[in-house]
Amino acid sequence: MDVVISNGSEQDLTMSYDEKREGNFQRTKMKFLHFIGAHELHSPDMWRAALTEMIGTAFLMFILFSSIIASLNSKVADPSLLVLLSIFFVAFVFLLAIAPLTGGHMNPTFSFIAALKGVVTISRATIYILGQIIGAIMGFLLIKSVMSPELVEKHLLAGCSIDVGKTSGINPGTAFIFEFVSTFVVLLLGVTVAFDKKKSK
């Protein structure tokens, strides 16, 4: 009789331990899913916002670079001012249009900062970034389809050339440093100004 009671007690303890471990696992899982914002993957609003980011990024690429190329091909002696005005005006208009709908990121760096600061969830930022990459590719293809091959070769779609044949391209090391510094400046401004909660209040 004592043996039966002992076996029953050990079995109850084992079951209690297994149930406790399973409960801890489920709680940890739920905390993780809540932390990354997995619930938003089932939200139609999030997917509409991501689609808006994709379309907005595509048209921003197309209009922005078209304006820059048009400014560079103008008959003005120094088109630098026109380029700056074009960038400011186009970016300002797109921010006014997109910001109320999605936050107006239209750049993976800004979505990364927003997730880092807790403005958006990791899941939303990831979907935004995927949409922005697809939108940028769409904008690039759209520009290339309407531009003449001569303009494409001349301006390289408003980008910098990296050791391209006889053109005055820059080496990959210099290009990496330029991109690193530029992205760092954007990150710094985003963290300290754009997504700073104290200043936004």
- Residue 65 shares a structural domain with residue 114: yes
Burial level of 88, CB count in 10 A (0-12/13-18/19+)? exposed
Q: Are residues 24 and 84 in the same domain?
A: no
Q: Are residues 65 and 116 in the same domain?
A: yes
The count of domains in the chain is: 3
- DSSP string covering the chain: -HHHHHHHHHHHHHHHHHHHHHHHHHHHHHHHHHHHTGGGGG-HHHHHHHHHHHHHHHHHHHHHHHHHHHHHTSS-S-THHHHHHHHHHHHHHHHHHHHHHH-S--SHHHHHHHHHTTSS-HHHHHHHHHHHHHHHHHHHHHHHHHS-HHHHHHHGGG---SS-TTS-PPPHHHHHHHHHHHHHHHHHHIIIIIT-HHHH-
- Is the domain of 91 the same as that of 122? yes
Residues 66 and 138 placed together within one structural domain of the fold = yes
Whether pTM > 0.85 for this model: the answer is no
Q: What string of pLDDT tens digits covers the 201 residues of the chain?
A: 444 444 555 555 555 666 677 777 778 878 888 878 888 888 889 899 999 999 999 998 888 888 888 887 777 777 777 877 888 888 888 888 888 888 888 888 888 888 888 888 899 999 999 999 999 999 988 888 888 777 776 766 545 555 555 555 667 777 788 888 888 887 787 767 666 555 444
The pLDDT value recorded for residue 85 is: 83
Residue 169 is predicted with a pLDDT of 60
How far is Cα 36 from Cα 98, in angstroms, rounded to an integer?
Answer: 24
The set of long-range contacts for 152-160, using a CB threshold of 8 Å and a minimum separation of 24, is 155/69, 155/72, 157/65, 158/65, 158/68, 158/69
Same domain, 173 and 115: no
Domain that holds residue 2: 1-36
- Same domain, yes or no, for 52 and 13? no
Query: Within this chain, do residues 64 and 111 fall inside the same structural domain, yes or no?
Result: yes
